Amino acid sequence: MSLEKILAEHGQGHLIPLLGKEGGAKLREELSAVDWETVEAWKHPDDLSGKGRISPIEGLRLSEIGKNRTKYEARGLELLRGGKVAAVLLAGGQGTRLGSDAPKGMYDIGVTRPVYLFERLIENLREVTERAGVFVPLLIMTSGENDGATRAFLREHGYFGYPERYIRFFRQEMAPCVDLEGRLLLGEDGALALSPNGNGGWYSSMKRAGADGDFPAVEWYNVFGVDNVLQRIADPVFLGATALSGCACGAKVVCKSRPEEKVGVLCREDGKPSVIEYYEISPEQAAERDEKGELKYLYGVILNYLFRADMLERIAGEHIPVHVVKKKIPHLGKEGLPAEENGYKFETLILDMVRLAGSCLPFEVIREREFAPVKNKTGADSVETARALLEKNGVKI
């Protein structure tokens, strides 16, 4: 079928006249690669995730972890020393809320000296690798937008002391954006407006790029976000506890501070471990308490997961839902970021992999020690709150 016909069928007739104009050949090429199933998802943004019946899940609490710490840690160190673990840093996001054009990991959170987010993460990882006496492969996911800047920055800073031979980069894919009527948007350069396709595709992107191919096969991937400056990476206690639990996945969680806190909640969905977004649980359900007075839906995820390699292989071909997110999208004819949300981006989310995994260990951590996300400039989860938590943990900023 001709591209013109395909465009007309998918309600994209506004692009047909552009195909014959300057830049038309490039546009034609881009449009031929569009995944129409994803783009059509804008029509039903609310019911896409198709949530089932929600119920609470049992987790491994701090007291229990304390009692078994030695055993868990020994198993975790054994896995690290046996070369069974790789770390995966998700750094393909746009960090729009933070309002910086540079890759988020380059953000300097220091006050009296430069302290970059990337630096904090690598220093945290180095604490573990020094203790274990081995390095782990560090696989860094970037996007088409920030790949060059990320590589250059880390190279310039000597990878903050992590040996370059243990580091590999890979790019995630980009997805087209549409306006509020589902018409594909063009970027300021006249090409399709694209945005990173979410963090849910990290495994397929990593495999496609062959990023881990230079290292011996591992049993566990520890996947984590770029913006938690207290993130504990390749934590031997978490590794040991998850491996000994027999679960195919582990998730670090903090106890929610209040029912309405905006974090993804680890619970069960139709009996299976699953993470639901804060807006997918009703206020009444979020406020439910058990006989001890604790929230029933207690566990907030902090984007630090362990995934067993054999499970990832097994679920590799399975469908992962596409989330349609209303955002401000820069586009042709309008300079900079629009004042109002003007369209939709399409993203798959890593939290949906928990459900596919089939089993998951919620592993409680102390919020003040391990959770200081930098999402916003001020207010909740911001540069300000993260600075205060860094100081509380004795990090000189």
Positions in the binding site for ligand UTP (CB under 6 A): 90-97, 104, 141, 172, 196-199, 225-227, 303, 347, 375
Quick check: helix, strand or coil at residue 141? strand
Least distance to ligand UTP, CB of residue 94, Å = 4
Burial class from Cβ neighbours inside 10 Å (0-12, 13-18, 19+) for residue 156 reads: exposed
Rg of the chain's alpha carbons, rounded to an integer? 22
In angstroms, rounded to a whole number, what is the distance separating the alpha carbons of residues 338 and 344? 13
- Between residues 303 and 395, which has the closer beta carbon with respect to ligand UTP? 303
- Pair 361, 242: CB distance under 8 Å: yes
Least distance to ligand UTP, CB of residue 269, Å = 20
- Between residues 231 and 274, which has the closer beta carbon with respect to ligand UTP? 231
Least distance to ligand UTP, CB of residue 378, Å = 14
- Please tell me what DSSP assigns to residue 193: P
Reduced DSSP (H G I as helix, E B as strand, rest coil) percent helix, strand, coil of the chain, to 5: 35, 20, 40
- Between residues 12 and 172, which has the closer beta carbon with respect to ligand UTP? 172
- Between residues 12 and 197, which has the closer beta carbon with respect to ligand UTP? 197
Least distance to ligand UTP, CB of residue 347, Å = 6
The DSSP H or E segment spanning 54 is strand 54-55
Least distance to ligand UTP, CB of residue 381, Å = 9
**Tally of CB atoms within 10 A around 371:** 24
- Between residues 122 and 141, which has the closer beta carbon with respect to ligand UTP? 141
- Between residues 197 and 242, which has the closer beta carbon with respect to ligand UTP? 197
- Pair 295, 289: CB distance under 8 Å: yes
Least distance to ligand UTP, CB of residue 352, Å = 13
Between the two ends of the chain, the Cα-to-Cα distance in Å is 59
Query: What single string gives the DSSP state of each residue in 155-192?
Result: HHTGGGGS-GGGEEEEEPPEEE-EETTSPBPB-TTSSB
Integer CA distances (angstroms), 73 to 80, 136, 225, 249, 366, in order: 10, 16, 23, 17, 17
- Between residues 95 and 137, which has the closer beta carbon with respect to ligand UTP? 95
- Between residues 308 and 323, which has the closer beta carbon with respect to ligand UTP? 323
- Between residues 154 and 243, which has the closer beta carbon with respect to ligand UTP? 154
Strands 361-364 and 249-255: parallel
Quick check: helix, strand or coil at residue 151? helix
Least distance to ligand UTP, CB of residue 141, Å = 5
Least distance to ligand UTP, CB of residue 348, Å = 9
- Nearest Cα neighbor of 222 from 367, 118, 79 is 79
| Cβ-Cβ contacts under 8 Å for 20 (sequence gap 6 or more) | none
Integer CA distances (angstroms), 45 to 151, 195, 326, in order: 35, 17, 9
Least distance to ligand UTP, CB of residue 236, Å = 23
In angstroms, rounded to a whole number, what is the distance separating the alpha carbons of residues 17 and 24? 9
Residue nearest to ligand UTP (CB): 93
